[in-house]
């Protein structure tokens, strides 16, 4: 593989060491995998910005229960713009706890509220369960954002990996519903937009010992989708979608990522559709590299780039 950024390499090696306290990943049940993943990620959520206020709620915004965490960086009572952030984890793992510091970083750097969303995980909750609930949350925020000190006219969406997918898919849903302007900007960190991984990507970035290889990625897709027929559904695989009329988009692309090809293809699709898009490839970065923010200047730069993009579109 190409040269990995040294700090990102340290992050990967530390995670590998921490995983050794658990049985082989493939031998654990899904609940056991999630517990282990939370413990391995815990060290990377420590530190970082302190929020003026943090609100956590579990409620049904219209399509089923969600747990949300609202990060408010400023100690005032004026309505602020907000980024609704969807965590990654192959639709199968992680939570707002594993992504807690990342969301605080976005809130502090951008000066906007961040709403972190815990959606139902696969394979227990197959497509489109999570998408239905996230769409329900966005419609609830349209009518009720003021309850959380959020300006409903200045909403952005974003996420990493599977969360990038769900953010784009939610925008598709909202456009079909006649709400194309509800989301003013989209942020995608190494989004997975297709259920296919090319041979070239696997040969260069996958294989045994990689942070994400094709068999693992396809396993996550198998968890999420109901069957092969969903691979042709643009709301499951947004790379197939008509993205005309989408809001401005920011794509953070790790150079050495198995699914970088998805983001680069999405960049081309967005440009062809006349959508304003900013795409930055981060040299030496791997999938999930933003989680290394406590030790990686490269991860911090990518977070700052994304926060600045969102702030320019929705204000702060």
Answer whether 191's CB lies under 8 Å from 266's CB. yes
Looking up tokens 């954002």 gives 145
Residue 257: active-site member: yes
Q: Which of 296, 239, 301, 247 is nearest to 274 (CA)?
A: 247
Residue 267: active-site member: no
* Catalytic residue from among 87, 213, 267, 287: 287
Residue 287: active-site member: yes
Q: How many Å apart are CA 44 and CA 131, to the nearest integer? A: 27
The beta strands (E) that lie in 161-305 are given as 183-189, 249-254, 277-282
| The two three-digit tokens of residue 79, written as one number | 């309505």
User: End-to-end distance of the chain based on CA atoms, in angstroms?
Assistant: 40
Sheet containing 150-160, strands listed edge to edge, beginning at the edge strand earlier in sequence: 53-59, 66-72, 113-118, 80-86, 150-160, 183-189, 249-254, 277-282
* Catalytic residue from among 5, 167, 257, 267: 257
Answer whether 71's CB lies under 8 Å from 102's CB. no
Q: How many Å apart are CA 115 and CA 118, to the nearest integer? A: 10
Q: Which residues contact 144 (CB under 8 A, 6 or more apart)?
A: none
Residue length of the chain: 316
Q: Is the peptide bond before 76 cis (omega within 30 degrees of 0)?
A: no
**Residues carrying an active site annotation:** 161, 257, 287
């Amino acid at each position: 593989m190409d040269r990995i950024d040294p700090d990102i390499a340290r992050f990967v090696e530390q995670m590998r060491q921490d995983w050794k306290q658990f049985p082989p990943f493939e031998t654990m049940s899904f609940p056991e995998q999630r517990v282990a993943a939370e413990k391995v990620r815990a060290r990377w959520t420590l530190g970082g910005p302190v929020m003026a206020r943090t609100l956590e709620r579990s409620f049904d915004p219209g399509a089923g229960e969600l747990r949300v965490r609202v990060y408010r960086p400023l100690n005032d009572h004026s309505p602020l713009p907000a980024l609704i952030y969807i965590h990654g984890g192959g639709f199968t793992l992680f939570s707002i706890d594993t992504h807690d510091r990342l969301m605080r970083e976005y809130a502090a750097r951008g000066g906007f509220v961040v709403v972190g969303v815990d959606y139902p995980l696969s394979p227990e909750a197959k497509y489109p369960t999570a998408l239905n609930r996230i769409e329900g949350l966005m419609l609830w925020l349209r009518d009720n954002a003021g309850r959380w000190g959020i300006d409903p006219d200045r909403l952005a969406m974003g996420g990493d990996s599977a969360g990038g997918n769900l953010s784009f898919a939610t925008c598709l849903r909202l456009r079909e519903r006649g709400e194309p302007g509800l989301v003013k900007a989209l942020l995608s960190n190494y989004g997975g937009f297709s259920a296919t991984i090319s041979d070239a990507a696997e040969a260069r970035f996958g294989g045994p010992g990689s942070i994400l290889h094709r068999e693992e990625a396809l396993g996550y897709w198998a968890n999420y989708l109901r069957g092969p027929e969903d691979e042709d559904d643009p709301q499951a695989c947004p790379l197939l979608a008509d993205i005309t009329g989408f809001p401005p988009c920011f794509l953070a692309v790790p150079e050495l990522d198995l699914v970088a090809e998805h983001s680069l293809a999405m960049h081309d699709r967005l440009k062809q559709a006349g959508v304003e898009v900013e795409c930055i490839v981060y040299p030496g970065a791997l999938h999930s590299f933003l989680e290394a923010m406590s030790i990686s200047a490269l991860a911090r730069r990518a977070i700052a780039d994304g926060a600045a993009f969102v702030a320019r579109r929705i204000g702060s």
